[in-house]
Amino acid sequence: MDVKSIYMDKSTINRLEVLRSETFRTPLSFEKALGLWVDRTGEAVSSERPDKLRVLGLYAAVYIEKNEGFHISENAGRKNVKAGDVMIVYPGIPTLYYPIGEWKSLWVVWGGPESAVLEKMGYLAKPVFRDKNESVKKAHMALSKIKGREDIDSILERKRIIIDMVLNLYRTSKELVFSSVSEIALEKVIMKISANPDKDYSVEDLAAGSNISLTHFRRLFTAHTGTSPKEFILSMKISRAKQMLSEGLSIKETAEKCGFEDVFYFMRVFKKMTGITAGNFRKS
């Protein structure tokens, strides 16, 4: 099969053979306790055009240093990538990437439960984008200097480097994301919710009103705020509720003014999001 002609969709994925990469470095007990560890780094000049989807068990950031090629995955489709771009590879997501002719790339592979938390919070939401600050390349260089060291200082330093890399990539992708019409519309939605949290918002209606598909709307929203649309709306409502309770309003009045028809549901949400009951908050 000519991989250059592939446009990734569900049926295409089902037709391609999958190669699972399961050979990883065993993290030390201290690394496991920290929740995030570096598996490997590498760099190569390659002209290989694989005909199998690769499923990695860890996270990876692949930076294209020279020339261009293609990236194909279930969550990104088929994209042209070139020097200066970074590709994020997710655990369990079938992915294929290869050069047009030849390219030079470098990569950082890492894992641990904290990585999944960062993804859930939206810090690894964009599969392919421009790494204008060369965050992956800088992380690769920094990690290479302490490669093979297993002392506590080096283990902590490796975790710091990965977190800095993820944070810088997130900031870069966020700047790029909000240059499009859809992201500007999303920003208006966020401002609308923040200004009027008492309204009864439907995520579906918010997406439709912004002319953004529901799936894309949720993804962009999470990438920008670090939380889902529903959680953000509830958070704004609870923030307003805290203000009203501190001003002396009763719990029932506060619930009604914040758009909660069920006062008991309001009390459960308040306790879950603040760690304190609405009654105790009002007394304090």
Q: Of all residues in the chain, what percent carry a pLDDT higher than 90?
A: 40
Q: Which residues contact 143 (CB under 8 A, 6 or more apart)?
A: 38, 41, 108, 158, 161
Whose tokens are 């700047």? That residue is 175
Q: What is the pLDDT of residue 162?
A: 97
Domains by residue range for the chain, with CATH: 3-177 (2.60.120.280), 181-283 (1.10.10.60)
Structure tokens at 14: 């089902």
163-186: average pLDDT: 77
Answer whether residue 240 shows pLDDT above 70: yes
The angle, 0 to 180 degrees and rounded to 10, between the axes of the packed helices 214-225 and 229-246 is 50
Answer for the pair 100, 127: CB distance below 8 angstroms, yes or no.
no
Answer whether residue 239 shows pLDDT above 80: yes
Answer for the pair 159, 124: CB distance below 8 angstroms, yes or no.
no
230-244: average pLDDT: 90
pLDDT in tens, 227-236: 889 988 998 8
Q: What is the pLDDT of residue 84?
A: 94
Answer for the pair 144, 41: CB distance below 8 angstroms, yes or no.
yes
* Greater model confidence, 104 or 177: 104
Q: What is the model's pTM?
A: 0.60
Q: How far apart are the first and last CA of the chain?
A: 68
Answer whether residue 18 shows pLDDT above 70: no
Q: DSSP of 17-53, one letter per residue? A: -EEEE---PPPPHHHHHHT-EEEEEEEEEE----SSE
Q: What is the pLDDT of residue 34?
A: 92
- 236 φψ region: left (φ > 0), alpha (ψ -120 to 50), beta (else): alpha
Q: What is the pLDDT of residue 143?
A: 96
Answer for the pair 105, 82: CB distance below 8 angstroms, yes or no.
no
The overall average pLDDT reported for the chain is: 85
How many Cβ atoms are within 10 Å of 266's Cβ, its own excluded? 22
Answer whether residue 5 shows pLDDT above 50: no
Q: What is the pLDDT of residue 11?
A: 46
Q: Of all residues in the chain, what percent carry a pLDDT higher than 70?
A: 89
pLDDT in tens, 38-69: 999 999 999 877 777 888 889 999 999 999 99
Q: What is the pLDDT of residue 218?
A: 86
Answer whether residue 245 shows pLDDT above 70: yes
Answer whether residue 10 shows pLDDT above 80: no
Strand partners, 80: 70
Q: What is the pLDDT of residue 159?
A: 96
Answer whether residue 156 shows pLDDT above 90: yes
Query: Which band of pLDDT confidence, cut at 50, 70 and 90, is reported for residue 180?
Result: low
pLDDT in tens, 191-223: 889 888 888 899 999 988 888 888 888 888 887
| ∠ CA 40-19-23, rounded to 5° | 35
Answer whether residue 242 shows pLDDT above 60: yes
